Amino acid sequence: MKIEDIMTRDVKSCVSNDSLATAAQIMWENDCGAVPVLDADDRVVGIITDRDLAMAAHLQGVPLRDSRVASAMARDVKSCSPRDTPAT
């Protein structure tokens, strides 16, 4: 089995300057709990999860529309190739 056999191909993304509300809307509309964050060259620079959104909402104390993805995203992202095999 290869990663390409189990991966999602129609991935939705956001940018670090998007609001947390935008990231939450992407998750809601696409029934997912994580959204990759891309830079201007479409390179992955982070990932934001539904947990990140919940924690940011609680700790920042502002509406999601008033806070940016950059304030809550994880920046240390690892990736693999579609041709790689899943770890067992």
Tell me if 38 sits within 8 A of 45, measured CB to CB: yes
pTM above 0.85, yes or no: yes
- The full 3-state SS of 31-59, as one line of letters, equals CCCEEEEECCCCCEEEEEEHHHHHHHHHH
The predicted structure's pLDDT at residue 88: 62
Which distant-in-sequence residues (6+ apart) come within 8 Å of 84 by Cβ?
A: 2, 3
Number of residues that make up the chain: 88
Q: Is 14 exposed, middle or buried (0-12, 13-18, 19+ CB in 10 A)?
A: buried
- pLDDT averages per 10-residue partition of the chain, 88 residues: 92 97 97 96 96 95 95 94 88
